[in-house]
Amino acid sequence: MATHNILEAFRLDGKVALVTGASRGLGQGMALGLAEAGADVVAVSTRLDNLEQTVAQIEKLGRKVLPVACNQANFPEIRAAIAKTVETFGTIDILVNNAGTIRRSPAVDFSDEDWDAVLDTNLNGVFRFCREAGKIMVEKGSGKIINIASLLSFSGGITVPAYAA
């Protein structure tokens, strides 16, 4: 009787995955998991030095990795991250929107600056990454987008009105 490794059905050899928030936590875990499955990875974080551990671990797995500094609230930086990805790897097959920010304050005291900072990253940045990567995916006829959300988006929170918006 032949044995079949179910993980072989999920191999990502030859695929390119861009992961935001790849320096730690879920983003780092997803970047490493995608690399383990065979994908080359574009690891995105606000600062390159935050990506050193992620990059080293992906390289240890024998995969190519492109570290990219990008403030997800800044549209020109998003466009530059997408352009660097295409310039380096030729395409984007998988986008994982994981990066996010949070500011805490009661709603009646929540400043417009904090509101804008959270929504520019957690909403506008996610949309813009989806749109820019989506253009490439639509043109080639394939691609996957994974958007990570918090459970607070379902239940809200007393001191996180923008985060749960």
Query: Tens digits of per-residue pLDDT, 46-66?
Result: 999 999 999 999 999 999 999
* Domains recognised in the chain with CATH numbers: 12-155 (3.40.50.720)
Whole-number Å distance between alpha carbons of 32 and 44: 13
Q: Which residues contact 141 (CB under 8 A, 6 or more apart)?
A: none
Does 163 participate in catalysis according to the annotation? yes
Biggest CA pair distance of the chain:
66
- Answer whether 37's CB lies under 8 Å from 62's CB: no
pTM of the model: 0.92
pLDDT for residue 3:
61
pLDDT for residue 1:
52
- Answer whether 106's CB lies under 8 Å from 159's CB: yes
Over residues 24-45, mean pLDDT: 98
* Catalytic pick among 35, 161, 163, 164: 163
Query: Tens digits of per-residue pLDDT, 86-126?
Result: 999 999 999 999 999 989 999 899 999 999 999 999 999 99
